[in-house]
Structure formats: C-alpha cells, structure tokens
Structure 1
C-alpha cells in the first residue's frame, strides 16, 4: 500500500512540476535515522516521502488524523503513527525508538506546525534521536504548499544536510542541547542555501 500510494503521488505531483533534490548523498546508507524537515504546508510531506524512495518514512502525525475511521486506516497503511502534541505520552518516544532500533526511518517536522515563520524547534526529534543513538538528517523544503501553489507550478526543491550525531563525550543533557542547536542552525542554513538555488 505504501509504495503504491507513494509512486501514484509521484506521478500526480510530477504533473505540476518535477522536484529538484540536492545532496541526497547525505542520507545514511544503513541503520535507522530521523529525518527532520521544515514544514510549511501539506505538500512538503508528500514530496519528502517521494524524494527518499524506495526508502520508507514512518511519519509522526497528530492524533487528530486518527480519529476518523477511513483516515485512520489510510494513515496506518502509510506507516504513520499518532502523537498527542499537547500532552505527549511515553508512546511518543517508545514507538519511534522501536522503529529506529529496527533500522527504519522516522520523519518528524520539528516546528510542530505548518508555518513559514521562525519558531523554536520542539525537542521531540532531538530527544528521540538522542535516546535511540540515531542520527538526525536535517532537510529543508521550498516549493508549493497547497493546491493553489501547485496550479501556479511553483518548483519544489529539497535539500539534505549532513547527519547530526549526539556527542558521546558530553553529559547527555548537555549533548542534547547542543544537538538541538546544531539542528536549528542546519535547518536555517539549508533554507538559505535552497534560496540561492532558486536564483
């Protein structure tokens, strides 16, 4: 179901313009890792999943998407798992840690919301990666965010940064703080770099 949906979406979205992918070689070749991507609309979720094919992404999604029967079925088929963004419980970390231990890829949007404004990164991505001893791959997206943008044929672009690892030489709390700062800096730099490619 996942591959069928992903390749079908690739065909449909390509009708509005092909995506340009930069530095895909930064993706780890083995082992589990967290993809932390900028988030400005629902289209970036689709293009992100398509850009890493045939690798599957297990998306952390807000629990509201699982309240409708049909939508819940679809989210499960697309390897998404629910999280309560207001009151995250143990499962918010348990599920992705289990996936990472199996060598799977977990997709998280650190801002926790769809916005083009600067917002503080939520600690979820860093906490999950740090406690799982898995790297975080920062990713930036620029392009269409909604149906209107698609019909305007805005060109989608994605760029992958170098993996960020938790320091083994520092106390865990301090290492997590540094990892979070590194992720924030990397995402900002990647967004700026993507803008230069558009010129």
Structure 2
C-alpha cells in the first residue's frame, strides 16, 4: 500500500517539475527475475526509475546508515529497499539479492557504485557481473539523462534486456577471474551509456 502511494506521488512530482520523457518502457519484462542496472547522476535516481516501472516493484540496496532510525527504516523497507554495509563484504545483502531474483523480483542496481555525472572508468565495480552470472537473471540497462534542474528536460531510457554469459569460469562454474568480471561489468555499464547516444 505504502509503495503504491509513494509511486503515485513520485510520478506526480517528476511529471510536474521536470520535462520528463520516458523511452522504451515496453522493454521491461512483465514477470520474471531482472537486474535493472542504471547510471547514477543524482539522489533522485532510484525514485525516478522505480516509479516509471509499470505494475512491478523495484528493490534496491540502500546504505545501512539509513536503517538506524526505526521509522525511516520502516518506510524504506516498505518502498522495497534493503540495507547494505558499504566498504566491506556484506554477505546478508548479497543473499537478499539472490533470494529476490530467485523469487522473480526486480533488483535495481547502480553498477558504478556511487553517484557520477559522467562516464568514469574509475567507478566500475565487478559485483554486478557476479550477480548477473550467478543468478542467470537478464540485465536491463537503463539510462538517466538530464541535470535535474527544475523544469528542465530529463530522459529516462529503458534498453532491451539481455543475458550475460561467460566461458571463463573454473571447473565448478562458480568462480571467475577478476579480469572477466571487470570485462562484463564494463560491458553492462557501456550498454547503459550507449542508450544516451541513440
């Protein structure tokens, strides 16, 4: 209920205060697991993307500090977020991602890790490659284009989902060379930024 109300309010906000153009929404699968991967220029990104995904809830990782306040934690969880401890391995959040995907949910991620206004090769994390390879969930690239100044143009572009594959795993199929993970992560991030040039 809270998610639906929040979604309506977000749609009204973005429609009223920005010249919003949404492209490719038909590319979003209506069911099944999905890794939604977007660039991250502003703090509003997760709200913009989530409210423009029709009929489905998008689950995001959010920094653990936001969950210290019980009331705020309740709101954030109701909106589909779950905590992650940044800067160290967080096994719990990783398990949550796989559990959500196994349940056929959408998990939203920002593969560059932090907010960035432009393509930055130094802000590329291999984690997204692991999630894509181990879960087998399709990747949906999403590009956010605009400066988010009031009444300015903002484009939200949904690309076509695709599956990530690799033949570089060890004999168990569970471990991949770091170079391969970096390559796949770069491929995913490049597919996001390529949408801006179309």
Q: TM-score, normalised by structure 1?
A: 0.85
Correspondence 1:146-185 to 2 at 5 A: 149-150=149-150, 153-167=151-165, 169-171=167-169, 172=173, 173=176, 176-185=181-190
- Range 114-123 or range 74-83, more displaced: 114-123
Larger % of helix: which? 1
d(CA) in 1 for partners of 2:63, 2:35: 17
Which residue does 1:91 correspond to in 2?
92
Which residue does 1:137 correspond to in 2?
140
Is the alpha carbon distance of 1:176 and 1:30 closer, same or farther for their aligned partners in structure 2, counting shifts above 3 Å? farther
Correspondence 1:35-74 to 2 at 5 A: 35-74=36-75
Match of 2:127 among 104, 113, 124: 124
d(CA) in 2 for partners of 1:181, 1:40: 18
d(CA) in 2 for partners of 1:178, 1:113: 19
User: Is the contact made by 2:59 and 2:81 (CA closer than 8 Å) also made in structure 1?
Assistant: yes
Check if 1:189 corresponds to 2:194.
yes
Deviation at 1:83, TM superposition (A): 0.7
Q: TM-score, normalised by structure 2?
A: 0.86
Structure 1, unmatched stretches of 5+, are 194-199
1:173-195 CA distance string (max 9 Å, x none): 266444323202212212333xx
1:69-111 CA distance string (max 9 Å, x none): 2221111110100111211321121001000001000001111
SS at match of 1:21: strand
Stretches of 4+ moved more than 3 A in 1? 174-178
d(CA) in 2 for partners of 1:29, 1:111: 26
1:32-66 CA distance string (max 9 Å, x none): 01101100112222110111122110011111111
SS at match of 2:26: helix
Structure 2, unmatched stretches of 5+, are none
- Across the aligned residues of Structure 1 and Structure 2, the Cα RMSD in angstroms comes to 1.9
Which residue does 1:15 correspond to in 2?
16
